Chains A and B, each alone.
Chain A
Amino acid sequence: MKSGAQILIEGLTEQGVDIIFGYPGGVVLPIYDELYDADIRHILVRHEQAAIHAADGYARASGKTGVCLATSGPGACNLVTGLATAYMDSIPVVAITGQVPTSLLGNDAFQESDITGITMPVTKHNYLVTDARDLKRIIREAFHIASTGRKGPVLIDLPKDVCTSMVPDVDGPDEQPRLRGYKPKYQGHSKMIQRAVDLLLQAKRPVIYAGGGVISSDASAELVALAEKMCMPVTTTLMGLGCIPTDHPLNLGMLGMHGTEYANYAITESDLLFSIGVRFDDRVTGKIEAFAPQAKIIHIDIDPAEIGKNKQPDVPIVGDAKSVLSDILKKIPESCPHPEWSEKVAMWKKNHPLRYTSDGKLHPQFVIKTLADVLGEKGIIVSEVGQNQMWTAQWFKFTRPRQWISSGGLGTMGYGFPASMGVHFACPDQPVFVLAGDGSFQMNIQELGTVAQYNIPVKVIVLNNQYLGMVRQWQQLFYERRYSYTELPEVHFERIAKAYGIEAATVRNASDVEAAIRTALAHPGPYVLDVRVEREENVFPMVPAGANISEMIVGHHTEHEEE
């Protein structure tokens, strides 16, 4: 006989879980009691939202499924933003919540909330367990669902009596989940693959548009191989950054609202758009009718519902990015250059680089560029949301997949700092840097307590502009500089960090940036760098919402620096 809580811990161990981020409460006491001497490490966060972001960061950096644990009611409700964040970016997370005993379900009992009802639209699937005998099966199903097909978060709600009840150990160790309604398709249809190959071979101005799906299926090597064979330039979404090195000659950087001019021009003039692991999001396409208007479209995605949702492709391929790319690669002859197109793209790249004013003042782009220079190939970069995120996406030099961790689809302020904790535990040998805004950092700043307690050596660089900068930018450009409730008062992040016992410094001059970053990097524990950047710097290029992506606002730069 075993208790539900025991079955839970055994089930997690069977799934290879070695770390959980959580926060205790009344109904999860039986689980915490099991954790007390389990082999699974538990990190006590300061807010449940941080637990799920950390689990999510762990998943993004490692490719494995992240796990978090919260109590019923308020604890469970604090997970909702994190579930929605993971759901939008298709990140495998299993969230375990406590629930009031089954006898009280539906009674508005103390700390009862209908968390399976609440999270239905933001989970891939969820379970309310009412019998401990189902638990083993449900854990296996949950991990299977979270980590296969189009990945995503799964929640398991566990009433207290299910955790305490004693039941016989039901099934053998290798019973596989049997789900009648869930059979993800990995292999692309051979006829469609042939049609894609035919289009690729006919194309004169092809472009690859790659997204998070490429990272998720570990298909970056295949993607770069195809790009090189076909001499096709590659532009990536925010979620796809890192699937081709920033310095790769075929890389065009990010496309869309804050994409590079050359990526957006290349898309607009292309005659073939090879789209893979992307979803034609409005932040990418701008006005959808004017997106890649001359191009035939190949769309590869593991989720059939993404195909044709926003843009009708000429060749739809449902399948896993890695499998489909490998199949296509086999059918492509050694090299298929498009000299005219390559030249044109090279001209755009040369004539329209990313820029920022270099006048000796402390510009945020310079901080990121310096960080990239200091880190070289090392490091994992986590961002918050806002201008800080876009500048990092534009200016950091990524060298590999899973090096860039950021909330894309939901754009969750307060994601980055807690996520970085999970990133550290996934990749303990890598330096982890968070590029934060002063607004975003304050959304989950309490996690300074967690990084201090466990000495988690993440380095937070606050691009402190004393504004909700991205919103201020929109107000400046589209609301006649009426800065309605976007100014933030000066905060001394150095003092806050030190109050938690964390090393910190404040940087006010461009000339001090590099040394400060080196100090942070060399410090063995967590570190906060409060960088007082130019307050009204803007992110350019910018495509106004709903406009044609070839019509960018590029901003004014007195002097500029090449990329």
Chain B
Amino acid sequence: MTAHIFSVLVEDSPGVLSRVTGLFSRRGFNIESLAVGHCEQPDTSRITIVVTGNDVQIEQVKKQLNKLIEVIKVLDISESEHVERELALMKVRAGPGEARSEVMQIAGIFRAKIIDVGSDTLVVEVTGDSGKIAAIEDLLKPYGVLELVRTGKIALQRGSATVSSGR
């Protein structure tokens, strides 16, 4: 059971996202994260889906996705050299005083940004791979993480390879 990152190019039409997610729930595949948005081509969106499963399941995910009429291209990016990132926002309890400066220090170490300061909260923005986000979350937990939101993983292959070129 390993995590795979699928980069899926789809027609930019209403309903395409529910076709994709419906397929996952119907066939019992587990989505760990999903990120979607327009991409470099017109009328096309890119969905990045992280799925865990054994080899047979992963093969089925790929084939079933390919069967959807509005899916243009499916690539398991984790099979090749790639870069991946995720962005998380965390609202941390940190009133004026010691806690606040400690949280700001931790953020600094992780190259995270403070993007909002409230009377007794800070919102921390952190970008990285899942390990990095988990690490900062662990460190901030003792202060009280009031809310956490993550974008889901996005990824690209390294070098000149692209999903539409199929490499």
A residues with CB within 8 A of B: 116-117, 120-121, 124-125, 128, 145, 179-182, 303-305, 308-309, 312
Query: Contacts A304-B66, A305-B60 given; 6 further ones with Cβ under 8 A?
Result: A120-B19, A145-B69, A181-B10, A181-B69, A303-B67, A309-B60
CB of A147, distance to nearest CB on chain B (Å): 14
Contact B72 A308 (CB under 8 A): no
Contact B22 A125 (CB under 8 A): no
Q: Which of A128, A145, A181, A308 contacts B15 (CB 8 A)?
A: A128
Contact B69 A179 (CB under 8 A): yes
Say yes or no for B109: interface residue by CB 8 A criterion: no
Task: Given A121-B26, A304-B63, A305-B64, decide whether A182 and B56 contact each other with a Cβ distance below 8 A.
Answer: no
CB-defined contacts of B56 to chain A, threshold 8 Å:
308, 312
Contact with A along B55-73 (1 / 0, CB 8 A): 0100110011011111111
Contact B19 A124 (CB under 8 A): no
Say yes or no for B11: interface residue by CB 8 A criterion: yes
CB-defined contacts of B69 to chain A, threshold 8 Å:
124-125, 145, 179, 181-182
Q: List 20 A-B contacts (CB under 8 A).
A: A120-B18, A120-B22, A121-B26, A125-B69, A128-B14, A128-B15, A145-B69, A179-B69, A181-B10, A181-B70, A181-B73, A182-B69, A303-B67, A304-B63, A305-B60, A305-B66, A308-B56, A308-B60, A309-B60, A312-B56
Complexed CA–CA distance, A121 and B18 (Å): 11
Complexed CA–CA distance, A121 and B67 (Å): 12
> B19-60: which residues lie under 8 A (CB-CB) from chain A?
19, 22, 26, 56, 59-60
Complexed CA–CA distance, A145 and B15 (Å): 18
Complexed CA–CA distance, A485 and B145 (Å): 57
Nearest residue, chain B, Cβ from A150: B67
CB of B11, distance to nearest CB on chain A (Å): 7
Contact B72 A181 (CB under 8 A): yes
Contact A181 B59 (CB under 8 A): no
Nearest residue, chain B, Cβ from A124: B69
CB-defined contacts of B63 to chain A, threshold 8 Å:
304-305
Contact A180 B72 (CB under 8 A): yes
CB of A178, distance to nearest CB on chain B (Å): 11
> B56-99: which residues lie under 8 A (CB-CB) from chain A?
56, 59-60, 63-64, 66-73
Contact A181 B26 (CB under 8 A): no
CB-defined contacts of A124 to chain B, threshold 8 Å:
69
Contact A308 B59 (CB under 8 A): yes
CB of A468, distance to nearest CB on chain B (Å): 29
Nearest residue, chain A, Cβ from B44: A180
Complexed CA–CA distance, A101 and B14 (Å): 18
CB of A451, distance to nearest CB on chain B (Å): 36
Task: Given A125-B69, A181-B71, decide whether A116 and B60 contact each other with a Cβ distance below 8 A.
Answer: no
Complexed CA–CA distance, A181 and B74 (Å): 10
Complexed CA–CA distance, A181 and B11 (Å): 8
Complexed CA–CA distance, A490 and B61 (Å): 49
Complexed CA–CA distance, A128 and B71 (Å): 17
CB of B2, distance to nearest CB on chain A (Å): 18
Q: Which of A120, A180, A303, A308 contacts B11 (CB 8 A)?
A: A180
Complexed CA–CA distance, A135 and B71 (Å): 21
Contact A305 B22 (CB under 8 A): no
Contact B11 A117 (CB under 8 A): no
Nearest residue, chain A, Cβ from B16: A181
Q: Which of B18, B68, B72 contacts A117 (CB 8 A)?
A: B18
Complexed CA–CA distance, A514 and B15 (Å): 56
CB-defined contacts of A312 to chain B, threshold 8 Å:
56
Complexed CA–CA distance, A180 and B74 (Å): 13
Complexed CA–CA distance, A121 and B21 (Å): 11
Tell which of A117, A180, A181, A182 has the most Cβ of chain B within 10 Å.
A181
CB-defined contacts of A121 to chain B, threshold 8 Å:
22, 26
CB-defined contacts of A308 to chain B, threshold 8 Å:
56, 59-60
CB-defined contacts of A116 to chain B, threshold 8 Å:
15
CB of B8, distance to nearest CB on chain A (Å): 10
Complexed CA–CA distance, A180 and B164 (Å): 11
CB-defined contacts of B60 to chain A, threshold 8 Å:
305, 308-309
CB of B66, distance to nearest CB on chain A (Å): 7
Complexed CA–CA distance, A303 and B10 (Å): 20
Complexed CA–CA distance, A121 and B24 (Å): 11
CB of A105, distance to nearest CB on chain B (Å): 11
CB-defined contacts of A120 to chain B, threshold 8 Å:
15, 18-19, 22
Nearest residue, chain B, Cβ from A305: B63
CB of B72, distance to nearest CB on chain A (Å): 4
CB-defined contacts of A304 to chain B, threshold 8 Å:
63, 66
CB-defined contacts of A181 to chain B, threshold 8 Å:
10-11, 68-73
CB-defined contacts of B14 to chain A, threshold 8 Å:
128
CB-defined contacts of B73 to chain A, threshold 8 Å:
181
Contact A305 B19 (CB under 8 A): no
CB-defined contacts of B64 to chain A, threshold 8 Å:
305
Nearest residue, chain A, Cβ from B23: A121
Complexed CA–CA distance, A305 and B14 (Å): 25
CB of B143, distance to nearest CB on chain A (Å): 43
Complexed CA–CA distance, A312 and B22 (Å): 26
CB-defined contacts of A182 to chain B, threshold 8 Å:
69
Complexed CA–CA distance, A121 and B14 (Å): 16
Q: Which 7 A-B pairs have the closest CB atoms?
A: A305-B63, A181-B72, A125-B69, A180-B72, A182-B69, A181-B71, A304-B63
CB-defined contacts of A128 to chain B, threshold 8 Å:
14-15
CB-defined contacts of A309 to chain B, threshold 8 Å:
60
CB-defined contacts of A125 to chain B, threshold 8 Å:
69-70
Complexed CA–CA distance, A357 and B155 (Å): 67
CB-defined contacts of B10 to chain A, threshold 8 Å:
181
Complexed CA–CA distance, A120 and B16 (Å): 10
CB-defined contacts of A145 to chain B, threshold 8 Å:
69
Nearest residue, chain A, Cβ from B59: A308
Complexed CA–CA distance, A84 and B71 (Å): 22
CB of A310, distance to nearest CB on chain B (Å): 10
CB of A361, distance to nearest CB on chain B (Å): 47
Task: Given A120-B19, A128-B15, decide whether A305 and B67 contact each other with a Cβ distance below 8 A.
Answer: yes
CB of B16, distance to nearest CB on chain A (Å): 10
CB-defined contacts of B66 to chain A, threshold 8 Å:
304-305
Tell which of B14, B67, B70 has the most Cβ of chain A within 10 Å.
B67
CB-defined contacts of B68 to chain A, threshold 8 Å:
181
Nearest residue, chain A, Cβ from B71: A181
Nearest residue, chain A, Cβ from B43: A180
Complexed CA–CA distance, A303 and B67 (Å): 8
CB of A344, distance to nearest CB on chain B (Å): 34
